Amino acid sequence: MNRMKTGKILNVFLIVFLCAITIPVNAQKDDWKELCEKNQQLEKEIKSLIADTTSLHLTIEKFDAEQMRLNYQIDSIAAIYNALKGDVDNKKVAGIQQKVDSLNAVVKQLQDRKKELESINRQKETTLSDLKRNISGMGAFSAIKDEQMFSHYQELLLKPYSAITSDNLKEIESKLNSFSKLPNYTEFKAHLKACKKNKELYDAAEGLLKEKFNADIIDKTRDKLYELLDIKKSDFRKGIIKLSDAQYSEIDTLDIKLSRYGDGIALLQGIVRTVNASKIREQNQGDKTSCIDAMRSIVVSEVEEDIEKRHRYFDMIPSLNTLYRKYWNDLLVDPFTYPTETETQIMQLNNE
């Protein structure tokens, strides 16, 4: 590891760390964001430093394995050498002496290699010690990173519930322990719990707009939504959390949509009744184009008041919008045959 690079990292880290610990608790959000941005490059360099350390550990492990292999070879050669030296009665002393000299040369090479590896090992151990000292400040860096993440999650919990996913909440919950020593942790934990509960309620209420009308369930759901809208102040000890402005607006709009469901059914059924009572089919028997044009003035009327009504109900309630579009599509295909399956479904709806 290049010492100049390591020193540079440590200097930058020291500056950032000192800045972090001297920031007042009530520092402005912009100042904190600026510090977070300055940490980005530092984080990349420290990750690289850790990667180098990991690589060094692997190299040392490989050296240990090679050292064991060398020791085994040395012991084996020594045993062969000693056996040959004791064989003085062998008539081929000259040949044996040559082998012994050759083995001695191998032993010398292995011993030299061992000394070389031991020297490399000492150098790497020194480098490893330096690296360990250099990254000893990672705990402080992790604390800074935790505060960054904590701030991000605090902002996330204030977003509209439609912008918060269940995966977001699971991610936050999985990292709660990392924030246990940070200020406002208790409040944050209560906020997360309330957000999970409110998100479930929001999703369930949204789902009602896609299902068959059920007045009892809608009324009970609207009561729960109103309880959220009625919270004027947070009480973290009791788990009572006031909605953010964005969440309040979204919940209020959802409550309004649910309140319109019954009247939306009445409007849709009214369109069907008007078409059937208009005698358009009898007046345009056999002329499909004229029949559809006449029906168009009722079903997809361009009168401003009618457009506003369709927006008020059908555009706000997915289940009614689906039936409305299917009904009009049925008429476009065959305006003379009725009641269609879609029309029957519409007239069977109960808005009470």
Task: Kindly report, residue by residue over 159-196, the tens digit of the pLDDT.
Answer: 999 999 999 999 999 999 889 888 899 999 999 999 99
Of the two residues 5 and 313, the one the predictor is more confident about is 313
5-30 burial string, b = 16+ CB within 10 Å, else e?
A: ebeebbebbeebbeebeeeeeeeeee
Token pair for 294: 């006449």
User: What's the CA gap between 160 and 195, in Å, rounded?
Assistant: 10
The yes-or-no verdict on residue 83 having pLDDT over 70 is: no
- What pLDDT is stored for residue 9 in this prediction? 47
Quick check: 298 pLDDT over 60?
Answer: yes
Q: What is the DSSP letter of 239?
A: T
* Percent of the chain's residues with pLDDT above 90: 54
Binning pLDDT at 50, 70 and 90, where does residue 28 land?
very low
The whole-angstrom separation of Cα 320 and Cα 206 is 14
Output the average pLDDT for the chain.
80
Work out the pLDDT band at 79, boundaries 50, 70, 90: low
Query: What is the arithmetic mean of pLDDT over 258-271?
Result: 97
Number of CB atoms found within 10 A of residue 146's CB: 16
Is the pLDDT at 210 greater than 70? The verdict is yes
Top-confidence residue, 11 or 331: 331
64 burial via Cβ count (<10 Å: 0-12, 13-18, 19+)? exposed
Spatial distance between the Cα atoms of 205 and 190, rounded to a whole number of angstroms = 23
pLDDT score at 4: 46
CB-side neighbour CA atoms (13 Å) of 83? 7
Asked if 27 and 49 touch (Cβ cutoff 8 Å), the reply is no
Question: How would residue 18 be classed by pLDDT, with cut points 50, 70 and 90?
Answer: very low
pLDDT of 14 over the 70 cut? no
